[in-house]
Amino acid sequence: MKKIEVRQAIKIFGKNPRHGLELLEQGLTKKEIKEKTDLNVGVAEASFYVESGEIFVIMGLSGSGKSTLVRLLNRLIEPTSGSIFIDDQEITQMKAEELRQVRRKKISMVFQGFALFPHRTILDNTLFGLEIQGLDKREREKRALEALALVGLKGYEASYPSQLSGGMQQRVGLARALASDTDILLMDEAFSALDPLIRKEMQDQLLDLQDAMKKTIVFITHDLDEALRIGDRIALMKDGRIVQIGTPEEILMNPANDYVAHFVEDVDLSKVITAGNIMTHADAVTIDRGARVALKLMNDNGISSIFAVDRSQKLLGVVDADDAAQAIKTSTAIGEFVKKVQPVKVDTHLNDLFDDISKSSIPLAVVDDQGRLRGLVRRGAIIHALAGNTPLTKDKEVQHS
Amino acid sequence: MNATFLPKIPIGHWADVFIQFITDHFDTFFGYIASGIQGFVDSLVWLFLFMTPVVFILICAGVAFWRRGWGVALFTLIGLILIYDLGYWQHAMQTFALVLTSVVLSIIIGLPLGILAGINRTFHRIVTPILDFMQTMPSFVYLIPAIFLFGTGMPPGVVATIVFAMPPTIRMTGLGIRQVPGDLIEASNAFGSTTWQKLVKVQIPLAAPTIMAGVNQSIMLSLSMVVVASLVGAPGLGADVYLAVTSLKTDIGVEAGLAIVIIAIMLDRMSQNTRGKKTGGA
């Protein structure tokens, strides 16, 4: 479901923005318009949508218009033209009161500089949105305390923002946004002011919270690593325009133009590509089918071992050809010969696979969260991916060791 | 007097006609204001004298202690006892009432205007030159129309004092509101605040220290006007100084002047920003 949809949004700063629209239509770039007039193109013809429950990252260097773009979504900045829909309601057409209700109930925001109120305690900062909504004191304090507990700041209710570290302050900023219990969270460079370790910690916490809450998050950042780490999809901006929108893998593997390619060239692929991206189909034998079936499958596919699963596709281990033959000879159940293997998860990054693959003589089994076999990863596929070619399409061809 | 080729522009004449017109047509209106001010100041003076010096001094010392601690409280105590000892108690109370009335009215009028100037650029642009005018025009000049409109005594003194003392309150309130960091305004908007909520919950509390600095300046300017106000017949310590100057009496001049200084320091310390305890420094 499309939670947010932006159609041809344009923002031009300056005295006569209409004139800028005409120039933009004539195909002039931000730089050319800036030179000809005193107009500054903040966002040019941005169109995209954000799915419900998705983390959508808008990334770009400073001055690329990303902070302007996110402010168009809740109309902290009025777009010069274009339309923006939240839950299929056109926010760009709303009257002041309607807009206020949307800001109270549907969209909350986390700011780069935290934007905490220095004259309010942590608790009073957190319940600000609820206070604005006019909730009674007991209810808003209860919900604010819940939100503070969620971000791990229990016990700091009575402190003032200046008494907290940067990381803790931004947790308050996050709690304040969560307390309103809106579906949409706008995060404007929310972690950029934090030092790298804290930033990583906050990213993890955000991902954990997102697992539990399934918000629709629009996350602004200038940090490519951050974008790749948390984004389900990424929109890359340059000079007010969206250059490319795609999943992290798509952006890395199929850059839309030289700019994107240049931007992503230094990325450590092993930290981005997951086992799920490079895995291929795995043949498996269901354990109660017996040793003969297992041996036949191995023969047919020209492989010397095969993964064994139960009826619900849960991975049990691996059986090799010798064991299968032994089982047939001694007419024991094949289950006796299943050797345990250490599987990897679908979302495991390549850099976490190196160790496992180097120790294993057979391909790595890839399982999902329920332990069901989803595919396998061969040594060659990893090297292939690191060389910059990812088999995004899952080929059927199978060659066990 | 005028040796140029240009014909003299009759600004003075216009001002004259304007004031004449107002006196002719709004006499009753200004009469009401004058008696209102007179009544207010009179009841304050009555209240202060009714309290007896002991109670009054203790209350002032108490406020000083609450606002600033021991040092200021001690100064207030000794200073007020000195004024009593010198025999200027009643005049001091009149001056106190004059200053208090002017400051209260300055705040009542100045605060909303300052807030408006803080949130509305156009209003800010209009009001700034008017404030410049009010502050730089020699304060004696206000006395002339004040006499026409409000007669003599306390009311014209209060009005002239307000005109001179109010600008800092307006300026600093506007400044304080404008100085609230943009991201806090943005945060407040992003959570769906109305203009009023934003003002009451964010802008005014954050501007409070600056607003208080403005009020403090208004108090000081009011005190500096007490001698000028005595020219139109406002009673109090100012009148004593005026008398001392015209009759060359050093003793009265020094004593009354000292009393004004004591009251000035006391009010200044009481109205200055306290430690900023809530924000914890930063």
- Closest alpha carbon within chain B to A122: B279
pLDDT given at position A388: 66
Average pLDDT in the B78-96 region? 92
Is residue B276 in some structural domain?
A: no
| CB nearest A76 (choices: B184, B190, B205) | B190
**CATH code of the domain containing B45:** 1.10.3720.10
Helix (H, G, I), strand (E, B) or coil at A181: coil
The span from the CA of A365 to the CA of A344, in Å, is: 6
- Residue A41 to residues A27, A30, A68, A379: CA-CA distances in angstroms? 13, 6, 10, 49
Min Cα distance A153 → chain B (Å) is 19
The span from the CA of B121 to the CA of A177, in Å, is: 31
B194/A100 Cβ within 8 A:
yes
Residues 249-278 of B with CB under 8 A from A: 278
Q: What are the sequence ranges of the domains in chain A?
A: 2-106+182-267, 275-386
Is residue B1 in some structural domain?
A: no
Contacts of A399 (CB under 8 A, 6+ apart): A302, A303, A378
Query: What's the mean per-residue pLDDT of chain A?
Result: 85
Average pLDDT in the A347-357 region? 82
| CB nearest B281 (choices: A100, A162, A180) | A162
pLDDT digits (tens, 9 = 90+) for B6-43: 888 888 889 888 888 888 888 888 888 889 999 999 99
Residue A321 has pLDDT above 90, yes or no: no
- Please answer whether residues A92 and A41 qualify as being in contact, where contact means their C-beta atoms are separated by less than 8 angstroms: no
Q: Note whether A330 contacts B: Cβ–Cβ < 8 A.
A: no
- Closest alpha carbon within chain A to B282: A162
pLDDT digits (tens, 9 = 90+) for A76-106: 999 988 899 999 889 989 999 999 999 999 9
Among A153, A157, A152, CA closest to A140? A157
| CB nearest B191 (choices: A108, A160, A162) | A108
Contacts of A353 (CB under 8 A, 6+ apart): A275, A344, A364, A377, A382
Question: Is residue B262 exposed (0-12), middle (13-18) or buried (19+ Cβ within 10 Å)?
Answer: buried
Q: Which residues pair with A42 in a beta bridge?
A: none
- Please answer whether residues B165 and B99 qualify as being in contact, where contact means their C-beta atoms are separated by less than 8 angstroms: no
A115/B187 Cβ within 8 A:
yes
- Closest alpha carbon within chain A to B276: A119
- Number of Cβ within 10 Å of residue A219's Cβ equals 26
pLDDT given at position A392: 47
- Please answer whether residues B144 and B150 qualify as being in contact, where contact means their C-beta atoms are separated by less than 8 angstroms: no
Is residue B21 in some structural domain?
A: no
Domain that residue B57 falls in: 26-271
Query: Model confidence at B3, in pLDDT bands (50, 70, 90)?
Result: low
Min Cα distance A235 → chain B (Å) is 23
- Number of Cβ within 10 Å of residue B121's Cβ equals 10
pLDDT given at position B1: 53
How many domains would you assign to chain B? Answer: 1
B187 CB neighbours in chain A (<8 A) are 109, 111, 115, 117, 128
Q: Note whether B282 contacts A: Cβ–Cβ < 8 A.
A: yes
B278 CB neighbours in chain A (<8 A) are 119, 160
Residue A353 has pLDDT above 50, yes or no: yes
Per-residue tokens: A115: 């934007």
Among B263, B240, B233, B254, CA closest to B96? B263
B184 CB neighbours in chain A (<8 A) are 115, 117
- Closest alpha carbon within chain A to B182: A115
A74/B190 Cβ within 8 A:
yes
A132 CB neighbours in chain B (<8 A) are 191-193, 197, 201
- Residue A351 to residues A223, A277, A358: CA-CA distances in angstroms? 20, 13, 12
Query: What's the mean per-residue pLDDT of chain B?
Result: 88
| CB nearest B280 (choices: A104, A111, A162) | A162
The span from the CA of A260 to the CA of A257, in Å, is: 6
| CB nearest A160 (choices: B191, B193, B279) | B279
- Please answer whether residues B103 and B222 qualify as being in contact, where contact means their C-beta atoms are separated by less than 8 angstroms: yes
Stretch among A160-164, A195-199, B162-166, B260-264 having the lowest mean pLDDT: A195-199
Look at A334 and B234; give whichever has higher pLDDT. B234
Residue A395 has pLDDT above 50, yes or no: no
- A178-204: burial string, b at 16+ Cβ within 10 Å, e else: bbbebbbbbbbbbbebbeeebbeebbe
Percent over 90 (pLDDT), chain B: 60
- Please answer whether residues A320 and A304 qualify as being in contact, where contact means their C-beta atoms are separated by less than 8 angstroms: yes
Helix (H, G, I), strand (E, B) or coil at A47: strand
Min Cα distance A33 → chain B (Å) is 27
The span from the CA of A88 to the CA of A287, in Å, is: 50
B202/A115 Cβ within 8 A:
no
Class of domain A275-386: alpha beta
Q: Note whether A117 contacts B: Cβ–Cβ < 8 A.
A: yes
pLDDT given at position A400: 40
A119/B205 Cβ within 8 A:
yes
| CB nearest A118 (choices: B188, B193, B282) | B282
Residue B185 has pLDDT above 90, yes or no: yes
Residue A206 has pLDDT above 50, yes or no: yes
- Number of Cβ within 10 Å of residue A82's Cβ equals 17
A2-106+182-267 folds as Rossmann fold (3.40.50)
B280/A160 Cβ within 8 A:
yes
Among B169, B164, B165, CA closest to B143? B164
| CB nearest A111 (choices: B187, B197, B282) | B187
Average pLDDT in the A141-165 region? 90
To the nearest 10°, the Cα dihedral for B125, B127, B129, B135? -150
Helix (H, G, I), strand (E, B) or coil at B276: coil
A107/B189 Cβ within 8 A:
no
B205 CB neighbours in chain A (<8 A) are 119
Is residue B14 in some structural domain?
A: no
The span from the CA of B23 to the CA of B150, in Å, is: 9
pLDDT digits (tens, 9 = 90+) for B216-246: 999 999 998 888 889 888 899 999 999 999 9
Residues 131-190 of B with CB under 8 A from A: 181, 183-184, 186-190
The span from the CA of B85 to the CA of B101, in Å, is: 25
Per-residue tokens: B165: 């003392």
Residue B2 has pLDDT above 90, yes or no: no
Is residue B4 in some structural domain?
A: no
- Please answer whether residues B202 and B144 qualify as being in contact, where contact means their C-beta atoms are separated by less than 8 angstroms: no
A115 CB neighbours in chain B (<8 A) are 181, 183-184, 186-187
Question: How many CB pairs lie under 8 A apart between chains A and B?
Answer: 66
Helix (H, G, I), strand (E, B) or coil at A307: strand
What DSSP assignment string belongs to A245-284? EE-HHHHHHS-SSHHHHHHHTT--GGGT-BHHHH-B---E
- Please answer whether residues A48 and A224 qualify as being in contact, where contact means their C-beta atoms are separated by less than 8 angstroms: no
pLDDT given at position A163: 92
Residue B278 has pLDDT above 50, yes or no: no
- Closest alpha carbon within chain B to A185: B190
pLDDT digits (tens, 9 = 90+) for B191-220: 999 999 999 999 999 999 999 999 999 999
N-term to C-term CA, chain B: 61
Q: Which helix (H) or strand (E) holds A59?
A: strand A55-59
pLDDT digits (tens, 9 = 90+) for A213-245: 889 999 999 888 888 889 999 999 988 889 899
Query: Model confidence at A390, in pLDDT bands (50, 70, 90)?
Result: low
Residue A401 has pLDDT above 50, yes or no: no
| CB nearest B190 (choices: A109, A119, A162) | A109
The span from the CA of B232 to the CA of B38, in Å, is: 14
A100 CB neighbours in chain B (<8 A) are 192-194
